[in-house]
Structures are given as structure tokens and as C-alpha cells.
Structure 1
Amino acid sequence: MRAVNGSAANRSASGLVFALLSAATFGISGPLGKSLLESGWTPGAVVGARITLAALVMAVPALWMMRGQWGRLRGAVGLMAAYGAVAIALCQFFYFNAVARMSPPVALMLEYLAPIMIVGWLWLRTRRRPGALTVAGTAVAMLGLVLVLDLLTGATVDPIGVLWGAAAAVCLAVYFVLTAKSDGVLPPFVTVAGGMVFGAATIGVLAVVGLLPVAATFGSVELMGGEVSWLVPVLGITLIAAVAAYVFGIVAGQRLGSKVASFVSLTEVLFSVVASWLMIGDVPGPVQFLGGGLIVGGVIMVRMDELRAPAEQAVPDTAPEALPAADLEVRGLGSELTTGALPIVERPA
């Protein structure tokens, strides 16, 4: 019995490490992308390069995982296409457009409002009032948004940047709905890899028809207080902040369970702040820090309401290959949200 308990403890400890690694690697995507944007890259070029390279890296192991199971792909093409187009391509495109106009951590805080958006949408659609803790968490997060945007001090707010961040949050909210329908369809890594392929195709089509400007420079960029080759942020945002981040997140979800992993994923905001400070010298002000804390706190309150849901509506947390995202927390979305609860996952970007 002691051996079993020790093994479980070791698995949980290693899962926590992988979850923190996932949050940290996802957190560097903003400052890396910002360095490219400031050197002359368009958001479309940043997203296109990131998704295309990640698709190439992930395609081979994904195909190997599906050997002898090709029939499962036929029923999942629509899911991967929608996931790739909305949750990966458009979500990242909107996020990096926001990053082009504001601090990466602030843009990320705006995107983390996705769970609150889902609460409001379902409240309007079903006319059923969410739980008290969910309502309170939503109010706290909205107050945090006011502080993040620095509205109380009369500071100038870039409305276009705010709209881009809100659009990224909408895409993340759509992602929740998509993943709620994907339980057990494909292994998570395969769905992410397929999503990358469809996401790259989406960016390519939008660029070809002229709806998405794509331009890049191939000189040096400002990073870590000096000049480095443009390849450094491109490879970093692809291999570390995409491929490695998703792999770490999938392993974390399997070892910790989706509920715990989803909580740890909220540390991405902290990692993004630290990475932005170290890499590009961009740090939110004290009021924005407080606002970010309130947003994260509000989301945690909403998450706690889901954990208090009646046992008969609770969602099992043991299937290791249920969802396509790094943190895998969207099973039973409909039943959870109608009781005022809602899942949290790390953003799929």
C-alpha cells in the first residue's frame, strides 16, 4: 500500500512540474511575438509561421499514434477543422493583434475573460441564474477588467487593442464549446496536431485572398536587452511556446487530472508578466497587476462553484485522452454550466 501511495505521490509531483512547465512555456509566446511585431512582422506572419512550423513538427508523431486507427480520423475531420480555424488560427491572430497594441500580459488577461463570457451567454440563453459564487466571481473579474484597462485613472486606452483581446476571448469561449463535444474522439496530441494543420491552412487561405496581411523582416530583433536573429523568437514561439507547451500540458492533465491542471494553468499570467519584463522590458503598472489578480481570482471563484456542483452532475476526472487541449477541462460543459459552473483550460494559443 505504501508503494502504491508513494507512486501516486510521485506521479502528482511530476504532474505539477509538467503543469508549471506548460504554463511557463505558453507564457513566453506573448513577448516573443511582440519582439517580432516590433521588428516589422505583421500578426498574420507571426501566427502563420508559428502554426505552420508547429504543424510540421507535430504531424509525424501524430500520424504514428494513429497507425491502425485511421477510421477514427474520418469522424473527427470537422472537429479538427473547427478547432484549428477558430481555437488556434483566429484565437492566436486576435491575441497577437492585441499584443501589437498593449502589454502581452494585459492582452492575456483580456483573453482569460472567456469563462466569464460563457457564463453571461448561457445566462442569457437559458434564463437560468448561475450559482451565487459564479455571479460573485463574474463581478470580481469585471472589476479586474476595469483596473487592467486602467479606466479609473483616466489613462488612454487603445480601444482597438481591447477589441482584439475581446475577440481572442470569444474564440477561447468557442473552444470550450468545441472541446465539450470532443470527449474521447481522438487522443489530445492528435487533435492538437490536426488543429495546427487546419489552422495553418486557414491562415494561408486568408492570406492568399488578401484578407490577412502577411509581411516579415529577416534581420535582427530586440530581445533580452540585445539584438538577436529573427530565427530565435520564431523557433522559440514554435518549438517552446507551442509544441513543448502542449506536450507538457497533456502530460500534466494525465498525471494531475484536469481539475488540478486547470488551476495550475492560471499561473500563465504570472509567467507572462515575468517573461515580458525579462525579454522586452514591458511590465504592467501596479493597478493593472491588481486588476489581473482580480480577473484570475474571479475565474477561480467560478471554478470553485463548478467543484461544488451536485455529485450526480459531477464530471469524472480520470480519462487521460479525453480532450484536445493542454489542460483538458471541458467535459460535461452543458450540465456544468447550467448549474452555474464552468470549466477552465489554458488558452489554446
Structure 2
Amino acid sequence: MSFSNPPSPADHHHSRIGAGITLGLAASLAFATSGTFVRPLLEAGWTPGAAVFWRVLVASVLLAPFGLWAMRGHWGELRAEWFRVLAFGLLAVAMAQGMYFSAVSRMSVSVALLLEYMAPVALVLLAWVRTRKAPSGLILAGSAASVVGLFCVLDLTGARLDGLGVLFAMGAMVGAAAYFAIGSGDSKLPALALPAFGLPIGAVALGLLIAVGALPYSAPLVDVTLLGHQVPWWVPLSVVIVVATAAAYALGLAGLPLMGERLSSFVSLSEVLFATAVAALILGEIPSPMQLLGGVGIIAGVVLIRLDGMSTAPAPAEELVALD
């Protein structure tokens, strides 16, 4: 009879990160469907504000029963961490979504995406300032590779800049950074608590912006063109709500604590790659060789960040025992 050794802390650490990366990639794929399926609505006269409002509002209704079920016995934790949930709803939902769509209304999608996806680099710089400790060579190399890859994947040909649009996009970057920082922090809340209770807060905030005229609103309930066919408006909107919002937030927030804010923010760059692939499959927008090269750069950056995490994995238990 043979006995296998119990898994070491390092093995457990790596398995947690592996599970987190899997959830993060699934979330990125889900988020990536939003652009392709919201486009028919925008072409039919929907404003970005209307699309994001209904996206967040209905998704919050869908997640509410699951959130209430997950919160059984945890209401004390929710009361204790109410500020965390409020900040998530205002920053990671309302600010990130509203500012991004506002930026898109004034400038090209590619530039808005580029600025928003500077969030991983911003988190690295923030950690540098906060800890006064320079990032490792792997972190710096991974950041550089990801940024170069992002430039290549996003087609900036003919891109136009708009001062207010840039400010909106920077606001979206702050919201995206808040998503990773808040979602990966220490918490006793179930994973579903943040999306289940944060999305309604975001919906209320977006509704108030629409009510005061800060977000233009138009949502004609007409048939739209999707995959060459005329379909009711609610068909693409349903995909955006169920897949790109409810499922994406739930999956992403389940994976964030397993990876940590730095690695998860770089894994999220895969959303750009998935968005390109979805557009190629559904809209026939074939990526160029430069975009494929950019994809390699983003993946290389994530791998370098992951290698840095492996080099700092927890030591085996026997090495952590203090000697008198």
C-alpha cells in the first residue's frame, strides 16, 4: 500500500491561482460579448446611457435571488462591509460603465478601450507609490509587454482625441481599477454579494445620471439587425444582460480573490482578445497580423506576471516554523 504526500501550501496556492485564472478568463469572454451584441442597439438609435442602464438594472434583478440565497447567515458581514459594497456599486459599476460609454460617445472605441485598460499598469504604479518598493523586473516586463500588445490589438488608425472624452475614459480606468482592488480585497462576504448588491447601487446611480440629463437617454423598441437577420430589440439586449453582465460579474468576482488584484487585472486584458475573436466569428471582422502579434504580447505579459507570482509563492509549512 502506498501513501501519497498531502498537498503542500505551495501546491494549494498554485491550484487556487489556477482556478482564479480559469474564472477570470471565463469572465473576460463573457464581458467581451457586450460590444458585438450591443452594437445593433446603438445602430438602431439606442444611446450608450440607455444600453448600460438597462444592462445593469435587469442584471441586478436576475442576480438578486442568488445573492439573497448566498447571504443566508452572512447579513452581519454585509452590515459590517456596507461601505465596500457601496463603493463597488458606485465605482466598479456605475463609474466604470457610465464613463466608458460616455467616452465612446465622444471618441473612438479603440482609444477609449486603450485608456480604460491602462488600469493594470495604474495598479502597479499605485502599489509602487503605496509601498515605496519598486516592482520586480518580471512585473515591469509584463506590464510593458501587455501595454505594447494592447496598442497592437486596438486599431488606432484614424483615431480621434477629444478632451472631455479622454477625461471620461480616464474615469472608466479608475472604475476598472476599483473593480480589481475592491473585488480582490480581504472580505468575509460570499462571492455573489458584491455583484448582487453592488449592481443595484450602480443602477440607481446611472438612473440618477439619466434623470438629471448627464447621460443622454434614447431606447427605441424596434427590430434590429443581428447576424444578418431582423430580430426584436430584446434579443441582443438579453445576451448583454445575462452573459456580459450577470454572468461576467459573478464569474469575475469569484476569481478575483483567488488571483489578487495585480494578476487579475492583467488576465482581464484577455477581454480585448476575446472581443476581437467574437467580432471575427459573428461580424466577420478578421483580425490583422498586427492584432495577432498584439495578442501574443498580452499573453506574454500575463505569463510574466504569473511567473513573478510563482516565484513569491508561500513556502512549505516546515519552512515557516519559527525556531526558538
Q: Does 2:61 match 1:59? A: no
Residue of 224, 231, 234 corresponding to 1:221: 224
After superposing the two structures, state which structure 1 stretch, 277-286 or 77-86, moved more.
Answer: 277-286
Deviation of 1:132 (Å): 1.0
Tell me the distance in 1 between the aligned counterparts of 2:237 and 2:64.
19
Task: Answer yes or no: is the 8 Å Cα contact 1:87–1:175 preserved in 2.
Answer: yes
Counterpart of 2:56, as a letter, is I
Q: What does the per-residue CA deviation read over 1:198-254, in whole Å, with 9 as the maximum and x for residues that have no partner?
A: 110110111112212121111122221222211011111111222233445567779
Q: SS at the partner of 1:185?
A: coil
Residue of 274, 295, 304 corresponding to 1:301: 304
Deviation of 1:107 (Å): 5.6
Q: SS at the partner of 1:28?
A: helix
Q: Does 2:257 match 1:243? A: no
Tell me the distance in 2 between the aligned counterparts of 1:283 and 1:163.
31
Alpha-carbon distance change, 102 to 299 in structure 1, aligned in 2, over 3 angstroms: farther
Q: Does 2:212 match 1:202? A: no
Tell me the distance in 2 between the aligned counterparts of 1:310 and 1:251.
21
Q: SS at the partner of 1:245?
A: helix
After superposing the two structures, state which structure 1 stretch, 281-290 or 46-55, moved more.
Answer: 281-290
1:130 — aligned with what? Answer: 135
Residue of 92, 98, 103 corresponding to 1:87: 92
Task: Answer yes or no: is the 8 Å Cα contact 1:225–1:280 preserved in 2.
Answer: no
Task: Answer yes or no: is the 8 Å Cα contact 1:42–1:215 preserved in 2.
Answer: yes
Work out which of the two has the higher radius of gyration on C-alpha atoms and give 1 or 2.
Answer: 2
Task: Answer yes or no: is the 8 Å Cα contact 1:30–1:99 preserved in 2.
Answer: no
Task: Answer yes or no: is the 8 Å Cα contact 1:24–1:268 preserved in 2.
Answer: yes
Tell me the distance in 2 between the aligned counterparts of 1:302 and 1:78.
30
C-alpha RMSD of matched pairs (Å) = 3.6
Deviation of 1:158 (Å): 2.4
Tell me the distance in 2 between the aligned counterparts of 1:194 and 1:203.
15
Alpha-carbon distance change, 17 to 300 in structure 1, aligned in 2, over 3 angstroms: closer
Q: SS at the partner of 1:188?
A: coil
Tell me the distance in 2 between the aligned counterparts of 1:12 and 1:178.
18
1:96 — aligned with what? Answer: 101
Tell me the distance in 1 between the aligned counterparts of 2:308 and 2:227.
41
Tell me the distance in 2 between the aligned counterparts of 1:15 and 1:135.
22
1:28 — aligned with what? Answer: 33
Deviation of 1:24 (Å): 2.8
Tell me the distance in 2 between the aligned counterparts of 1:127 and 1:309.
18
Deviation of 1:281 (Å): 4.0
Residue of 277, 282, 286 corresponding to 1:279: 282
Deviation of 1:46 (Å): 0.9
Task: Answer yes or no: is the 8 Å Cα contact 2:224–2:231 preserved in 1.
Answer: yes
Q: Aligned runs of 1:48-197 on 2, under 5 Å?
A: 48-97=53-102, 102=108, 111-124=116-129, 126-148=131-153, 155-160=157-162, 164-181=168-185, 183-197=186-200
Q: SS at the partner of 2:195?
A: helix
Task: Answer yes or no: is the 8 Å Cα contact 1:103–1:283 preserved in 2.
Answer: no
TM-score for both structures, normalised by structure 2: 0.76
Q: SS at the partner of 1:159?
A: coil
Residue of 222, 234, 237 corresponding to 1:234: 237
TM-score for both structures, normalised by structure 1: 0.71
Deviation of 1:17 (Å): 7.5
How many residues are paired up? 299
Q: What does the per-residue CA deviation read over 1:55-101, in whole Å, with 9 as the maximum and x for residues that have no partner?
A: 11111221232234322221222111110111112212233345565
Alpha-carbon distance change, 142 to 273 in structure 1, aligned in 2, over 3 angstroms: closer
1:291 — aligned with what? Answer: 294
Q: Aligned runs of 1:327-338 on 2, under 5 Å?
A: none
